[in-house]
């Protein structure tokens, strides 16, 4: 699919080491402008995917904008957790520099593709923090939610919320992957991914789960921090590649916060003074 981020962002390829940890910084915006609610415009990407999303729609978690986005990005279907998901993740998380490899999420290490069993399917929003909403069906097997990880890094994160933690990074297989305390703090180059996955799951599955839908703060220390991570670590080529791949599958959808980081401001921009500042609303 043709790239649909606005000219606000000029992103280059993610550089991933083939046999070791990805120690290079992730792509950043080129500084052409700030991501603000005022940047939202009605644009066409050539495919019409976002044509139903209008800048004039009302904002907020229950606003017209969020409602329209939920209708748009809810998956058309999902694959079986125990069978198809593993195969699809090997393709969705393929190393762009080595098609025989896949990228493990928290370590960002490139390893030979192999079926799940040797690695874990990480619910970036833990099942036990979902108010019983997802296990291994629906949001619990959504390819835009689940990421491949080492079993060790998955178990170390456990059901901890994402948040800020003091101390040193944990290391596994020679790769740093996060800090653990009251919360779990991933590497800086993964923080934006964690924020956008959380935003996506909450938005895409909002109407399906209704009143049982867990709050953002079931998976994040705060909405302020989620928004900080989202803008501090802008979308990478790997995230774009995942969107492109998943749209070709039975899900037929995309994570809108990867394609349009500014969309977060229409939903959470007025949450607090911090989010207002991030979104250029004060």
SS3 per residue for 67-89? HHHHHHHCCCCCCCCCCHHHHHH
The DSSP symbol for 248 reads T
Which pLDDT score is estimated for 117? 87
- Nearest in space to 217 (alpha carbons), one of 232, 227, 207: 227
What DSSP letter does each residue of 35-74 carry, written as one string?
--GGG------SS-TTTT--TTS--STTSHHHHHHHHHHS
Q: 79-99 pLDDT, tens per residue?
A: 999 989 999 999 999 999 999
Mapped onto helix, strand or coil, the DSSP state of residue 214 is coil
Which pLDDT score is estimated for 48? 87
The DSSP symbol for 172 reads E
Which pLDDT score is estimated for 32? 36
Q: 103-159 pLDDT, tens per residue?
A: 999 999 999 999 888 999 999 999 999 999 999 999 999 999 999 999 999 999 999
Which pLDDT score is estimated for 34? 57
Q: Computed over its alpha carbons, how large is the radius of gyration of the chain?
A: 18
Q: What is the rounded distance in angstroms from the CA atom of residue 259 to the CA atom of residue 254?
A: 8
Q: Considering the chain, what is the average pLDDT of its residues?
A: 88
User: Mean pLDDT throughout 167-184?
Assistant: 96
Residues 6+ apart with CB under 8 A from 104: 93, 110, 111, 119, 148, 149, 150, 153
Q: What is the rounded distance in angstroms from the CA atom of residue 236 to the CA atom of residue 197?
A: 13
Between residues 179 and 21, which one has the greater pLDDT?
A: 179
Which pLDDT score is estimated for 37? 60
How does residue 20 score in pLDDT terms, banded at 50, 70 and 90?
Answer: low
Which pLDDT score is estimated for 282? 77
Neighbours of 71 (CB within 10 A): 13
User: Mean pLDDT throughout 191-213?
Assistant: 97
Structure tokens at 75: 């998956």
Model's pTM, two decimal places?
0.89
Q: Which helix (H) or strand (E) holds 178?
A: strand 175-180
Q: What is the rounded distance in angstroms from the CA atom of residue 156 to the CA atom of residue 177?
A: 10
How does residue 21 score in pLDDT terms, banded at 50, 70 and 90?
Answer: confident
Q: Which helix (H) or strand (E) holds 186?
A: strand 184-186
Which pLDDT score is estimated for 207? 97
User: Mean pLDDT throughout 179-187?
Assistant: 97
How does residue 239 score in pLDDT terms, banded at 50, 70 and 90?
Answer: very high
Q: Are strands 146-149 and 170-172 parallel, antiparallel or unpaired?
A: unpaired
How does residue 29 score in pLDDT terms, banded at 50, 70 and 90?
Answer: very low
Examine the pLDDT at 33 and tell me if it is beyond 80. Answer: no
Structure tokens at 173: 């297989």
How does residue 226 score in pLDDT terms, banded at 50, 70 and 90?
Answer: very high
Neighbours of 96 (CB within 10 A): 15
How does residue 42 score in pLDDT terms, banded at 50, 70 and 90?
Answer: low
Least confident segment among 25-39, 45-59, 100-114: 25-39
């Amino acid at each position: 699919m043709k790239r649909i981020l606005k000219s606000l962002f000029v992103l280059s390829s993610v550089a991933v080491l083939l046999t070791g940890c990805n120690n290079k910084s992730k792509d950043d915006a080129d500084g052409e402008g700030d991501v603000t609610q005022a940047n939202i415009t009605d644009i066409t990407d050539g495919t019409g995917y976002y044509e139903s999303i209008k800048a004039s729609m009302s904002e907020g978690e229950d606003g017209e904008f969020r409602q329209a986005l939920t209708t748009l990005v809810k998956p058309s279907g999902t694959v079986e957790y125990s069978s198809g998901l593993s195969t699809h993740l090997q393709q969705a998380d393929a190393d762009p520099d080595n098609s025989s490899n896949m990228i493990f999420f928290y370590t960002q290490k490139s390893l030979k593709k192999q079926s799940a069993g040797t690695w874990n399917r990480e619910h970036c929003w833990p099942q036990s923090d979902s108010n019983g909403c997802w296990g291994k069906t629906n949001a619990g097997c959504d390819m835009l939610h689940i990421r491949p990880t080492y079993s060790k890094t998955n178990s170390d994160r456990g059901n901890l919320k994402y948040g800020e933690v003091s101390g040193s990074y944990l290391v596994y297989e020679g790769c740093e992957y996060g800090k653990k305390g009251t919360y779990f703090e991933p590497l800086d180059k993964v923080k934006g991914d964690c924020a956008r996955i959380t935003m996506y799951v909450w938005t895409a599955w909002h109407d399906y789960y209704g009143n049982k839908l867990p709050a953002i703060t079931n998976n994040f220390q705060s909405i302020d921090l989620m928004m900080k991570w989202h803008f501090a670590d802008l979308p990478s080529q790997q995230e774009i590649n995942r969107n492109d791949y998943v749209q070709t599958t039975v899900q037929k959808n995309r994570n809108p916060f990867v394609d349009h980081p500014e969309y977060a401001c229409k939903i959470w921009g007025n949450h607090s003074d911090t989010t207002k500042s991030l979104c250029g609303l004060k």
